[in-house]
Amino acid sequence: MTDPIDRTGLRPRFWEKVPLKSMTPKEWEALCDGCGKCCLNKLEDPETEEIAFTRVACRLLDGETCRCAQYDIRLQFVPECVHLTPENISQHAYWMPSTCAYRLLFEGKPLYPWHPLISGTAQSVHDADQSVQGWTVPEFELHEDEWEDHIIEDL
């Protein structure tokens, strides 16, 4: 027997019971905590393949809401934006932030208490200082050669 779907279209605590590949599209999208960290430009060391996050945000990121301003059509503006899916998470989890729900569940770890699915409010990710709200630099303000000056630690 499957769990009933509530009026939000989500099964109760689905993230604890449903494998990523068995989630509905609505459940998959609900995993996003709205932190905006995945929208930060990253630099990869070609020798070590180590990923470094920068404060430099994608041109489509709204720095206050931490959401993509053109989410549904983002690939038209940013073709290199990764459309994360249950089928490709294994290829992309390594560069996702360590707090990302997609990465956590892929790695078999639980969500953090501040995740909106647990807290019940989208504001909790900001209140816990787990979002990029208010501290990013839009990519169009810097030349790519300057991104290295904006590397951040502990993300």
Tell me, yes or no, if the pTM score tops 0.75.
yes
Q: φ, ψ for residue 42 (rounded to 5)?
A: -120, 155
Q: What is the pLDDT of residues 11-64, one digit of tens each?
A: 999 999 999 999 999 999 999 999 999 999 999 888 998 889 999 999 999 999
Among 4-8, 46-50, 118-122, name the one with the lowest average pLDDT. Answer: 4-8
Triad 104, 108, 113: Cα angle to 5°: 50
Q: Checking DSSP bridges between strand 40-44 and strand 137-138, what pairing results, if any?
A: unpaired
Share of the chain above pLDDT 90, in %: 86
pLDDT reported for residue 4? 56
Query: 148: exposed, middle or buried (C-beta count within 10 Å: 0-12, 13-18, 19+)?
Result: exposed
Amino acid making up residue 64: E
The number of CA neighbours under 13 Å toward the Cβ of 86 is: 14
Identify the three-state secondary structure at position 117.
Answer: helix
Give me the mean pLDDT over the 94-113 stretch: 96
Q: Residue 19 is inside which H or E element, if any?
A: none
Q: What is the dihedral of CA 35, 60, 138, 88, to 10 degrees?
A: 60
The number of CA neighbours under 13 Å toward the Cβ of 131 is: 24
